[in-house]
Structures are given as C-alpha cells and as structure tokens.
Structure 1
Amino acid sequence: MSSDNRITASFVVPPELSDRRLDQAAAELMPEHSRSRIQSWIKAGALTVNGRVCKPRDKVMLDDRLSLEAEPEAQVTWEAEEIELDIVYEDEHLLVINKPAGLVVHPAAGHAAGTLVNAVLSHAPEVENLPRAGIVHRLDKDTSGIMVVARSLIAHTSLVEQLQDRTMGREYEAVVVGTLTGGGTVDAPIGRHPRERKKMAVVASGKPAVTHYRLVERFAAHTHVRCKLESGRTHQIRVHMAHIKHPLVGDPVYGGRMRLPKGATDELRDALAEFRRQALHARQLTLEHPETGEIMSWEVPLPEDMVGLLEALRTHVKEMENNEF
C-alpha cells in the first residue's frame, strides 16, 4: 500500500520465486518499479527481508516477507511536451486516455520524445514522482484505445493491485484472419521467442496468459472479435490469436502474409493492403476507483481506420451475396 507521502508494500515470497536473488524476486513482485530503483531501495535498506537489510544478490526463500518503506522522489527524467491528449476522464487520482494508433507510450531507444509519457508529464506534472510516470499498463504503439494513468500514489498502488488481482476489466476489438465458428479461450503461457528476442511467443517457460474471445461479425475470410484479458502479457492478444492460426489483420510481426478471400474485389484488396497496423483497439476499461471504491467503466469507439476496414469486408460479403442471384 502507499500513503500520500510514502511508498509502502509487503509481499510473501511464493514457491516459484524461492531461491531467487532478492532483486530478481522483488522485480517480479513489483513489476511497476524499475530494476534499478528496486536495487537502490535494497542498498538503502528501504526494502528488507524479514526485517533484515540484505544485498541485491542475496537469495530469498519460500514465505520470506519482503517489506518496502521508501520516500517518494522524482522517478523519471523525461521531458514534458505539449502534445494533445484525447482525455476521456480525469480527477486528482486518474487520467483515462483514448490513445491513437502510432503513439508510443514510453520513451525508449528510438523514441526519446513525442510519447504518451511526455504528453502526460505536461498535462499532469505530478506524475514525475510516480513509478514509470504513472503508467501501470501499456498499449503497443500501433494499438489504439483506452488506457488509464495513475496521478497519485494511492491510485498507482490500487491500479497495480487490480491488475495483479485480475479485477480490472479490459475489452478489446480485433479483426482476425480466417472465419471463426464460435468464441473460445486461449490459455497458453507467453514468454520471449526462443530465437527472435524482439518477439513474444507461446512457450512452456512463459508466464500464464488467458485470453477470452467472442464473435461480433463473420466475413468471407475474416472475423471481427472482442477479446477480454485475464492477464496482461506483452503482445498477448496478438500472440494468442496467431497461436490459434487466426492472426490479426495487418500485424507486421505475427500476421504473416496478407490473405485475400476468394473473389476479392480491388477495393477489398486495397483496404487490406493499406491497413498497415495490427487491427486491435482497446474498447472498454472497467476498474474500482482508488479512493471512493466506485466501479467505473469507460468505452471509446473504433477509430476510423478500423471502421473503414470493417466496411470494406462487409461490402465484399454483400457483393458476393448479390452475385449468387
């Protein structure tokens, strides 16, 4: 938990983290904090094991208690930039944003500026005192839609706990290759690809990941689906749908070659060829307000490019039906 002026947390080491280095175990238990910050807390004695000060490389054992009590401090060095944000909701604790496709969330190599974080620092400067500038979950650069940013320590702690407890509801819309006959669930662990380190994959050593999907509309050779996450692994929907042989339309990493339905018109061919991002949109977000406990939910409409893609697929189906008569 966090108070208004201190960062506090307490964890019991689970079986899967027993016999791991303290800094590694703490990083797994507190993914919202950077490894370097966790190591600095350990060295400063702010993060202890069973009340004892330890070194980052010391091993932790099953049922050890990790306790954190640290002073908040500026945790980011990124620059604030005046970049327009599509704000769906805000108060002193929360900032809910409709992120456009193409906007990177975090500054990184190749994207030191012009990111969502730079924009948030300009709009809400107080987030510089929060881990990762209040970002508790991400959307890929080319995924559009709704996401929440914490504006206070109370909110940050609450949102991280809701994500870890799987009580935060997140629903996405996607257009996938192939015709699905019904909804289903993909329960398959995700980790780094064994050979291509920039990709994720379904691997036995990965972290548990569960995606539920249901049909919205079926076309000649594509399907519009809604996906609900139980977990939040990197590229989860993209990896899971590709794993069941229904990759997202336009996905440059997991999609493979463009596939056209039989009798595809020039219009449909162009619509698919010109859709150069994964057809994925974060549609709805539901969470418990960190201060009031009220259950709040927001929904944002599909962006124009996905609306146009769906119209092209729908038009093709109608033309096929007309040609049968």
Structure 2
Amino acid sequence: MTINLPANQSTQDSSLKDLLTQGSPVQESTIPNELLTTNELLDEHMDDDNVSDDLPDDELLDDEDEHSDDKSSVAGQAVPVLIDVTHTVTEEEAGLRIDKLASKIFIDFSRVQLQGWVSDGSLLYNGSVQKPKIRVKAGDVLHLSTILEQHSADQPEDIAIDVVYEDDEVLVINKPVGMVVHPGAGNQAGTLVNALLYHYPQHHHLPRAGLVHRIDKDTSGLLLIGKTKPAQLALMEQLKDKSVYRHYQCVVAGDAASLLRHRRIDAPIGRHRNQRTKMTVMTAGREAVTHLLNVTALNGNYCLLDVGLETGRTHQIRVHLSHITYPIVGDRVYGGRRQLRAGLTEAQRQAINNFPRQALHAYILGFVHPTTGEDIEVTTPMPEDMQQLMAVLSDGYDAE
C-alpha cells in the first residue's frame, strides 16, 4: 500500500550526506544541562517487559551504537582452524580458470579469498604458485592449505534473508521486524548471524559474521555486512569517520510545526543508571547528533519523519525523539502514554495502542565501496505495517 501524503505539509532539507560534508544550516536543538536527565520522565512510562535485552556490545556499530576505537575489538576471541584440502580436476572441469574452479570446489570461501590464496601460495596448482587466470586441465591438482581464524561458535540456521545488494566484498540485507541481529542473552538462535552463517559459511571466519553495525530487534531495514575482513574493517572505519549515511523513517506523536523547531538534536546519550538495558540523555553521555531531514504531517498531531544519524549511539533516534517529547509510535520503552495525543478517532487510538513495535525503519544506506571507491546507495520500501498505520492516522485529514 502506498500512501500519498499532502505535499505542502512536507518541508524537505538537504540530505544527511550534504549536512555532514557542508554543515547544517537548520535550527539546532541543543539540550540545556539542567534538562538533560530524563530518568524520571522515562521511568514514568517504563514497561520492563518490553525492554530489549539485546543491546549491542562495543564492537559493533548500531543504527544507534558506535564501536570501540580499538580495532582489536573486531578480532574478538578467534580460534585458529587448519584448512587442508586437495582436489583433482575432472574432464568436465577442464578449461576453467583456477579461480573460477576454486570457487566451485571450495564453496565455504569467497572468490576474493580464493584469489588471494592463489596469489600468496596458499592455493597451489600442481604444486606451484600460478596466476588465477591460468586454465586447468583434467588430472591437474589444486591443493588448498591455510590457517583461518574462526570467530564464531554460533550455529548456521536455514533462515531466509532479504538481500538488497551484493558483490564480492559487500552485502546489504533488509532485516525484518522481530529478528535479533546477533546471539546474546536470551537469543542464542534465530538471529541474523545464524542466517548469515548458513547462506555464507565462509563468514565463520569473520568477526560477528561480517556485521558492520546493527539495528534493534523491532526496527526493520538495511544492514551493512563485509564479506571479507578488509572490507568489514574498511566499512567500520567509514562509519567512524561519518562517510556512511543512514536515513530512517518513523511515525511520531507530534505536530509538524513543533518538530520543525528541532531539526538538529544535539544531546549526549549514556546508559541509564538504574535500567541497564535502557539509554538516556545525560551530561556524562557520549556525543549524539540526530537530524530531522523531512517532516510530513499525517494529521494535526502525528508526523512521518525522515531522520538521519550523524553519530550512532544505542537507541539514539528513539531516545532523542522521546527526549524532545515527540516519541515514536509503538515504542513501549521510550514512548509510553505520550504516544496518545488529542483528537484521535477510536480507530486511530486502537491502531496506536495495538501497534506491536516502534514504527522505525532504516530505508536508505549509503557508503563508499571499500575496493572500487564507488559511491553506493541502497534503498528499501517501508514495511506494510507502517504503511497501514500511516493510512489510519492520515484518514480524513485535510492538509488545507
């Protein structure tokens, strides 16, 4: 379902990519020190049963979390694994290039890995080092001998994944609502990592199966994954230096005029002192900057936002929007009763009360390809549940 919203209620700003490279001319919402602690406000609407126990650790960048500056965190606790495999070329395989044949035989490894091993002598052709483009003959022997670091004891699971972009180095997937990104307390199976290890067995040798960042269980949308360790590290560096841009769509409780006064939210975020799975705005927190790039009225008290992240702290978008008192619809942790505004019809009230997750979707992801240097931008449509919510909230609304 596609919702056509009133164009004259939408105020478009420049893209986040432009904001990060040129600076933002829009009004800034910097939270005064005396207003920074939101513990009491959040506690009032706290629902412990809905707090995620799947907060990321410091080695991943999240739509809302930044990794440690220490690159060693990517390495994790690796276990060395010896790979020693020999293959004799058949009549059917004769004439293939070494690297093409290797990718058919050694299916647990990427073509880029195999090409590297041909070049460095880990993958020998008839006992000697050859160029990857050499064509094989029947009876020739390929011998792969190398030591890899296995970073994960997680088990592969046959779980479907929605691949939006893929090449030899990079993978972008569209994560559905309800899927945890990586195993953790209470979520040892059924995660994206388990799915990646099934579809890409070679990712056992990458930290966190190649994940570069993460998004929450009940947030849908795009995730960036490196298919080789150099690609993963390069992409993590891009997130750190802000050359990756990420846009999110969310439905919030708040009128357009008020939201337009908070086009740039600059308020530090840290872990809640009492609720350790929650985050809060606090003076001792880490820098956090969120841009409201576009504000579209659904009715007089609810809007669709296009949000960009300049930094990435845990739950950043959810915390910032709650802090300025315009929470995301469906956010049981940071929203509470403030999601219900005046003037709702019974159908709209029920739609908000029954919406099962935060109405937040990561829909644009832009990055520089780690090998080619090409600018890549990937998009994905808004999920059906959010489209239906918008249809109910905008029903009968006359922008004029």
SS at match of 1:227: strand
Letter in 1 for 2:326: H
Superposition map of 1:85-96 within 5 A:
85-96=161-172
Q: Say how many residue pairs are matched.
A: 264
- Structure 1 unaligned regions, length at least 5: 1-23, 41-70
- Give percent identity, aligned residues only: 46
The structure 2 residue matched to 1:137, chosen from 213, 217, 230, is 213
Q: CA deviation at 1:113?
A: 0.4
- Between the aligned partners of 1:214 and 1:231, the Cα distance in structure 2 is 15
SS at match of 2:325: coil
The structure 2 residue matched to 1:206, chosen from 268, 285, 295, is 285
Superposition map of 1:126-165 within 5 A:
126-165=202-241
Contact 2:294 2:307 in 1 (8 A): no
SS at match of 1:246: coil
Matched, 1:215 2:299: no
Superposition map of 1:57-136 within 5 A:
73-136=149-212
Q: CA deviation at 1:98?
A: 0.6
Matched, 1:302 2:342: no
- Between the aligned partners of 1:173 and 1:212, the Cα distance in structure 2 is 12
Contact 2:327 2:339 in 1 (8 A): no
Contact 1:107 1:113 in 2 (8 A): yes
The structure 2 residue matched to 1:241, chosen from 312, 316, 321, is 321
Contact 1:171 1:282 in 2 (8 A): yes
Superposition map of 1:163-174 within 5 A:
163-174=239-250
Matched, 1:232 2:312: yes
- Between the aligned partners of 1:164 and 1:260, the Cα distance in structure 2 is 37
SS at match of 1:89: strand
Letter in 2 for 1:220: G
Superposition map of 1:183-202 within 5 A:
184-202=263-281
Q: What are the superposed Cα offsets for residues 146-175 of structure 1, whole Å, 9 maximum, x if unpaired?
A: 111111012111101100101101000111
Farther-moved stretch of structure 1 (292-301 vs 172-181):
172-181
Q: CA deviation at 1:316?
A: 4.2
Q: CA deviation at 1:130?
A: 1.2
Contact 2:256 2:296 in 1 (8 A): no
The aligned counterpart of 1:29 is 69
SS at match of 2:177: coil
Letter in 2 for 1:205: A
Superposition map of 1:278-289 within 5 A:
278-289=358-369
Q: What are the superposed Cα offsets for residues 193-242 of structure 1, whole Å, 9 maximum, x if unpaired?
A: 12211100111121111100133311221111111001111101001111
User: What TM-score, normalized to structure 1?
Assistant: 0.76
Q: CA deviation at 1:132?
A: 1.5
- Between the aligned partners of 1:86 and 1:206, the Cα distance in structure 2 is 35
- Between the aligned partners of 1:241 and 1:31, the Cα distance in structure 2 is 31
- TM-aligned CA distance change 1:172 to 1:123, over 3 Å: same
SS at match of 1:157: helix
- Between the aligned partners of 1:180 and 1:283, the Cα distance in structure 2 is 21
The structure 2 residue matched to 1:291, chosen from 371, 378, 381, is 371
Q: CA deviation at 1:290?
A: 0.8
Contact 1:265 1:316 in 2 (8 A): no
Contact 2:168 2:227 in 1 (8 A): yes
- Between the aligned partners of 2:75 and 2:213, the Cα distance in structure 1 is 17
User: What TM-score, normalized to structure 2?
Assistant: 0.62
Contact 1:175 1:249 in 2 (8 A): yes
Contact 1:258 1:273 in 2 (8 A): no
- TM-aligned CA distance change 1:72 to 1:164, over 3 Å: farther
Letter in 2 for 1:303: P
Letter in 2 for 1:28: S
Which is higher, the Rg of structure 1 or of structure 2? 2
Which 4+ residue blocks in structure 1 deviate beyond 6 angstroms? none
The aligned counterpart of 1:251 is 331
Q: CA deviation at 1:256?
A: 1.4
Q: What are the superposed Cα offsets for residues 228-268 of structure 1, whole Å, 9 maximum, x if unpaired?
A: 00111110100111111111111011011154343422221
- Between the aligned partners of 2:368 and 2:230, the Cα distance in structure 1 is 12
Bigger relative contact order, structure 1 or 2 (CA pairs below 8 A, ≥6 apart) = 2
Letter in 2 for 1:310: M
Contact 1:32 1:132 in 2 (8 A): no
The aligned counterpart of 2:25 is none
- Between the aligned partners of 1:35 and 1:287, the Cα distance in structure 2 is 22
Contact 1:190 1:200 in 2 (8 A): yes
- Between the aligned partners of 2:293 and 2:366, the Cα distance in structure 1 is 18
